[in-house]
Chain A
Amino acid sequence: MNQDLEKLITLHDLDVMIADLSRKEIRHQEEKLGLEADDAQKMLREMRTEFTAQLDRRLLAQYDRLASHYGNAVVPAIGGRCSGCLTRLPTAMCSDPERNEQIRSCPTCGRIIYWAD
């Protein structure tokens, strides 16, 4: 898998964790178990700052733009479709054995695509 793509997936997972710790119900459940949601979220934010400092600026700008517009900047292709907008992706894109070796975007919505299968 392309290293930049891996970094974007890692960044996305970090953002999901940070957002989850702001969700009332998840936060409530974690705190009931004795986990420190506030501290964890603060630490994750710091980790995100450190992590993004290593990312290519152009790529980070693309990610941030997509994330602010859609909420999710990176999505898996499922059944030949972008799981963000559900549009069928070009066959050539899906059948390329090296499809995860470069950053590819959905031609319709622009979200960054990766193939899990």
Chain B
Amino acid sequence: MRRRCVCKWGLESSDRSGAISELLSQMPDLEKRRRQLLQTALESREQAGATVVHEGVSMPHCRSILVDDFLISVGRSADGVAWPDEKVRIVILFISPVKPGGPEEHSELIRHFASRLRDGGAEKLFDAEGASELADMLGLEIPGSETDESGS
């Protein structure tokens, strides 16, 4: 079964912090304070080492007790986001819950994205023509995407 995601086609931010904030704001049912704490966690991980996993692709991620299910938000920037030393155009952000079996599922999700990026998969992401296609390439689905092609 495909995991659900939200997608921001057309990230406006030009910096890492702004892009993370934009992607978190796409997530439904995430009230402001919780969103800010998740931003802190993700930025801590980034400060410890930028998560650029392929040229032009970053993957900010963490596990947090603030979520009870996987949250995945994908963004695409036309002009690129400074991450911070190199520009990325695709951002795959995900947060996994802290629960029994959580580390295994988190690891499985990293492995899933790694498999999608391998063998030219990362380059293909740049050719996606819309949010639904980008999500599909990543093995994800956007709820209601048939009626909302923008995904935003």
By a beta-carbon cutoff of 8 Å, the part of chain A in contact with chain B is 1, 6, 9-10, 12-14, 16-17, 20, 23, 25-26, 29-30, 32-36, 39-41, 43-44, 47, 72, 74-76, 78, 116
Contact = CB atoms under 8 A, between A and B. Distances in A.
Most buried by B among A12, A35, A40: A35
A104 B77 CA distance: 42
Most buried by A among B47, B49, B98: B49
Contacts of B44: 13-14, 17, 44, 47
Contacts of B49: 35-36, 39-40, 43
Contact of B98 (A25, A26, A72): A72
Interface residues of B, number: 30
A43 B116 CA distance: 29
Interface stretch (B34-42, B81-89, B131-139, B142-150): B34-42
B66 interface: yes
A9 B107 contact: no
B124 interface: no
Contacts of B21: none
Contact of A43 (B48, B62, B104): B48
Interface of B: 33-34, 37, 40-41, 44-45, 47-49, 51-54, 59, 62-66, 68, 98, 103-104, 106-107, 110-111, 114, 117
24 contacts: A1-B33, A9-B65, A10-B40, A12-B65, A13-B40, A17-B63, A20-B63, A20-B103, A20-B106, A25-B107, A26-B110, A33-B110, A33-B114, A33-B117, A35-B51, A35-B53, A41-B48, A43-B48, A44-B48, A47-B47, A47-B48, A74-B65, A76-B65, A76-B68
A34 B122 CA distance: 14
A12 B65 CA distance: 8
B45 A40 contact: yes
Given A25-B107, A29-B107, A29-B114, A34 B33 contact: no
